[in-house]
Amino acid sequence: MKLFFEYLKYHIKSIILFTFFAGIFILVFSLYSVPIEPALYAASLCGVIAVILTLISFFRFRSKHKALLEMINTITVSKDNLPHPKNIIEEDYMNLIDVLYQEKCKIDSQKSLTISELNDYYTLWVHQIKSPISAIKLLFQSKKIHDIEIEQQLFKIEQYAEMALQYIRAESDAADFVIRKYPLDAIIRQAIRKYSKSFILKKISLNYTPTEAIVLTDEKWLLFVIEQILSNSLKYSLQGQISIYMKKKDDLILVIEDTGIGIEPEDLPRICEKGYTGYNGRIDKKSTGIGLYLSKKVLNKLSHKMNIQSVPDKGTKVYIDLSYNDQISE
């Protein structure tokens, strides 16, 4: 009904003109004392014909409207399926659409090329910066120098470089996911080994309960997520312990719990937003607000879920739900 009213509104001038001319004929016939019945009969006949033509025109109008809606919904990138223009004005609009589309394609192509070049540059930069870091590590090992503080700073530089690389990959539409079944404990142990020296340096104890679970995921990306959560737990835990365990024996919800400073209630809804650091980040001054954002983004791509619960001055629990419809357990 709304479409019909829109059609009438579109043809309101023609309707008014038809009514006006019919009125003129009736007025002239009445002024010349012509019997009104023939005039009314002619007007009625013209009205019936007008209604029939209007309905035919309306159905064509509706057909064209539906065709345009289908193109909008399917995001068609060609004008080939557009309704055929009925007059020169519609043809002009078609040509205008074509020009705009060609310009859009040109802009999109330039944008894609720029993004690709930037990704290539940053990827190369990250790999290049990791080379001197590895060389410095080898020098420390060869000279048997054990300066823990310097070693930790090198570790942080390496982590920031790795995060930059993962950020580029995660933001890309062609992320290199390899979905297979993996033993979850093997992935967790890799993350623990990576941060073992940080546990020792900060004197944080680890309470790890083996999960004995098999998960359908991407090993590299899930490892990245667990590393980010462990890194945050270590950063904001001054003492106490970090626990890693399954929420329940038969489910696939991994829990990483710490006894750190916790997260303020007003920050919890936004901690996974890009660049958001919250109260703790403002105190730390070194937080980027990227780690949890990337973790959430990666987990969404893997069809996993993450939920965070926290109490200030008591600690934080991060729940990673590794189950979904196609999950296969062994």
In the structure, what pLDDT confidence band is assigned to residue 307 with cuts at 50, 70 and 90?
Answer: very high
Phi, psi of 227 (to 5 degrees): -65, -40
Return the percentage of the chain with pLDDT > 70, whole number.
71
Residue 175 φ/ψ, nearest 5 degrees? -65, 140
Cα 323 to Cα 251: distance, rounded to the nearest angstrom:
8
pLDDT of 283 reads: 57
Pairing of strands 253-258, 241-246: antiparallel
The better pLDDT of the pair 40, 13 is held by 13
Phi first, then psi: what are they for 309, rounded to 5°?
A: -120, 140
CB 133 within 8 A of CB 121: no
What pLDDT, in 10s, does the model give residues 17-44? 777 877 777 777 777 776 767 667 776 7
* Tally: H helices and E strands in the chain: 10, 7
Q: What is the pTM of this model?
A: 0.58
**Rounded to 5°, angle at Cα 200 from 198 and 203:** 105
Please give the Cα distance from 92 to 98 (Å, whole number): 10
Contact 319, 307 (CB under 8 A): yes
Mean pLDDT (the chain) is 78
The span from the first CA to the last CA of the chain, in angstroms, equals: 57
d(CA 247, CA 209): 11
What is the C-alpha separation between 81 and 316, in angstroms, rounded?
Answer: 55
263 is written with which tokens?
A: 């997260």
pLDDT band at 185 (very low <50, low <70, confident <90, very high): very high
Radius of gyration of the chain from Cα atoms? 34
pLDDT of the residue at 149: 64
CA atoms within 13 A on the CB side of 77: 5
Which CA distances in Å does 292 have to 20, 227, 288?
Answer: 70, 11, 10
Whether the per-residue pLDDT at 322 is higher than 70: the answer is yes
Cβ atoms of 207 and 188 closer than 8 Å: no
Please give the average per-residue pLDDT across 48-64, as a whole number: 79
Which H/E stretch holds residue 222?
helix 219-235
Is the pLDDT reported for residue 325 higher than 50?
A: no
State both tokens at 182: 């993996």
The answer to whether the CB of 231 falls within 8 A of the CB of 291 is yes
Residue 132 has pLDDT above 70, yes or no: no
pLDDT on residue 164:
72
